[in-house]
Amino acid sequence: MQGKITRIISNLYTVEAEGQIYECRARGKFYHDGLTPLVGDLVIIDADNKYILELKPRKNVLLRPTIANIDMAVIITSTKQPNLDLNLLDRLLCIIIHNKIEPIICFTKIDLLSFKDKKIIKNLIKYYRKIGIKCLTNNDIRKLTKMIKDKTVVLTGQTGAGKSTLLNKLDNSLNLATQPISKALGRGKHTTRHVELFKYKTSLIADTPGFSALDLKELTKEDIKNSFLEFNLSCEFKDCMHQEEKNCEVKKLVGAGDILTSRYQNYLKFMEDLNGNKRINY
């Protein structure tokens, strides 16, 4: 029968199929074929002998966190403790948009901000919405529930940004472990140890471990350019990369304040990092 992998711990794969849960092993042929079953994979299983027999084709794969067949990705973005990191946010947007997954930005810990900083976040929300990216705060639970209805969703973001806390807000019966920010390190402590899909109303939501590094080595410069949605403009040169070229419409809009300066600076940084295939640590 066909089912979906909802959790992987060691070599044991939890598969939900026809309303039942099966703890399965993967056949040796996957190892020999260089295939690794992932959370989110649609699979054919031998229910009697508890084996995964076949992996169905995937529509997409995220590598960090490692998960397949995702409809939406909610980027949990802390505004304080850990501090707002727009470079990380735009980096995640690059990867998610490139993989044809719809992004949602969710800003957390707004209550810790000063009035001035809250205004900055409000302007950021307005900007990302203007370029076509859904954006909200972790207080907008009803809005988020509507957005993710009938979708398979992954929560991703910096360690300590509030992924498990948000899941607990959505469904307090999950009672997922959370921990305070490490004052010595200035960042979150890992609480989620594995990727797992949870049922929430008509949605499936994945809580994922935080990460320590993220790179763009799987993307080309063209991929990065295309992931910056507001850069899709008619410049003088059709192959304009919005860097050193003359009469670049993107640079004009940055200068006019119509394109967020941080977005353009991050774009240039990503292009520079790609030249050296640089790995970024967080």
What's 197's domain CATH number?
A: 3.40.50.300
Nearest Cα to 87, choosing from 253, 232, 270?
270
Same domain, 50 and 88: no
Tell me the average pLDDT across 160-174. 82
pLDDT of residue 212: 45
Q: How far apart are CA 206 and CA 128, in angstroms?
A: 24
Same domain, 164 and 113: yes
186 backbone dihedrals φ, ψ, rounded to 5°: 70, 20
Same domain, 156 and 139: yes
Q: How far apart are CA 105 and CA 128, in angstroms?
A: 8
Q: Is 274 exposed, middle or buried (0-12, 13-18, 19+ CB in 10 A)?
A: middle
Same domain, 143 and 250: no
Q: How is the chain split among helix, strand and coil, in percent rounded to 5? A: 30, 25, 45
Cα-Cα-Cα-Cα torsion 57, 61, 66, 72, nearest 10 degrees, comes to: -110
Same domain, 143 and 262: no
Same domain, 67 and 195: yes
Token readout for 191 is: 């609480």
Is the predicted pLDDT of residue 108 greater than 50, yes or no? yes
Same domain, 206 and 83: yes
How many domains would you assign to the chain? Answer: 3
Tell me how crowded residue 30 is: count the other CB atoms within 10 A of its CB: 15
Same domain, 235 and 203: no
- Specify the pairing of strand 67-68 against strand 12-17: unpaired
Is the predicted pLDDT of residue 281 greater than 80, yes or no? no
263 backbone dihedrals φ, ψ, rounded to 5°: -65, -45
2-14: string of b/e by CB count within 10 Å (b at 16+)?
ebbbbbbeeeebb
Same domain, 13 and 43: yes
pLDDT of residue 112: 96
Same domain, 115 and 229: no
pLDDT-derived band at 179 (thresholds 50, 70, 90) equals: very low
Q: Is the preceding peptide bond at 57 cis, omega within 30 degrees of 0?
A: no
| Residues paired with 206 in a beta bridge | 154, 197
Domain end call among 188, 214, 240: 214
Same domain, 152 and 252: no
Tell me the average pLDDT across 205-220. 72
- Any idea which of 126-130, 196-200, 224-228 has the lowest mean pLDDT? 196-200
The CATH number of the domain holding residue 28 is 2.40.50.140
Tell me the average pLDDT across 89-95. 93
pLDDT tens across 27-69, in order? Answer: 888 888 889 999 999 999 999 999 999 999 999 998 777 899 9
Domain end call among 157, 183, 214: 214
C-alpha torsion sign, points 246, 250, 254, 255: positive
Tell me the average pLDDT across 118-141. 97
pLDDT of residue 157: 83
Q: Is the preceding peptide bond at 37 cis, omega within 30 degrees of 0?
A: no
pLDDT-derived band at 185 (thresholds 50, 70, 90) equals: very low
pLDDT-derived band at 210 (thresholds 50, 70, 90) equals: low
Domain end call among 57, 75, 90: 57
Tell me the average pLDDT across 79-94. 94
Q: Residue 44 belongs to what domain range? A: 2-57
The CATH number of the domain holding residue 248 is 1.10.40.50
Q: Provide the whole-model pTM.
A: 0.85
Is the predicted pLDDT of residue 151 greater than 80, yes or no? yes
Same domain, 89 and 204: yes
- Any idea which of 147-151, 168-172, 198-202 has the lowest mean pLDDT? 168-172
